Copies of this chain bind each other. A is one copy, B any other.
Amino acid sequence: MAKDNRALLGPLFARIEASHDLSEEEKALLAEAAGDTRSFGARQDIVVQGSRPKVSSLLVEGLSGRYVDLRDGTRRISGLHVSGDFVDLHSMLLKPMDHGILAMSDCTVLQFPHENLLRVTNAHPQLTRLLWFLTLVDAAVHRQWLVARGGLDSLGEAAHLLCELYLRHRAAALTRGETFTLPMTQQDFGNALGKSAVQTNRVIQTLRKLGFISWKGQQIAILDWDSLAELGEFDPTYLQLKRGTE
């Protein structure tokens, strides 16, 4: 079992090693803590709001997002995950879930029973701090979104999110040159920014006309990183990618 898991852990290890050294022993411990994989179709719930998970899920394939449903029936997206991200590592210590996790595209996750994770935290302080670190980066991303939203205009917000998503994909070794695959609609992208579909589309068109990005279907290319980062006032510090930010 641990053997099969190792292949699935590639993006996670890549992400971790973008900022930390990770020994073979630690990799083995993480692989041993893993349980089963599960698949979800697009638009399915990976974790249900209000539930009390007994496992934490590592996204192995696909794109997922945190969401909360509001009284008016709309759904607000408050976070996004790429391969190699734990979608609910916090659920080990925080229950019940105050939000749901939605598969934005078809997704595969690797589940880590809390039982196993707790065992790790009992015996391995260094690995514990590493897991803690991952949740802290998550929080840093939330903070950055808060600053961007309200502090920048639509164009800046979109630019900021695109810069972030590009770097996160790259840290998990999911980019091909300046191109990456983002399996979500413009509407969902806009939802994450708190914008309407129409406004989102206009912003994307503007970024295209400026020659900063190309966005065809699910393929996004960063054509002018410097200008995009400038527009979004993007400072990658918060992603904690000591390596791989280059």
Contact = CB atoms under 8 A, between A and B. Distances in A.
Interface string A188-217: 000001100000000000000000000000
Contacts of A37: none
Interface in A127-144: 128-129, 132-133, 135-140, 142-144
A144 B146 CA distance: 10
A149 interface: yes
Contacts of A147: 68, 70, 76, 78, 99
**Which of the listed residues A121, A129, A150 has the most CB atoms from chain B within 10 Å of its own CB?**
A150
Interface of A: 50, 66, 68, 70-71, 74, 76, 78-79, 90, 93-94, 96, 98-99, 121-122, 125, 128-129, 132-133, 135-140, 142-147, 149-152, 193-194, 233, 235, 237-238, 240
A245 to B, nearest CB: 13
A142 to B, nearest CB: 4
Contact of A146 (B96, B140, B142, B235): B142
Contacts of A151: 68, 70, 74, 76, 194
Contacts of A238: 98
Given A74-B151, A233-B70, A137 B194 contact: no
9 contacts: A68-B147, A70-B147, A71-B233, A76-B151, A122-B125, A135-B135, A138-B139, A139-B139, A149-B150
Given A125-B128, A143-B78, A240 B133 contact: no
Contacts of A135: 132, 135-136, 139
Contacts of A133: 93-94
Contacts of A74: 151
A136 B78 contact: no
Nearest 5 A/B pairs, CB to CB:
A150-B194, A139-B139, A142-B142, A98-B238, A78-B146
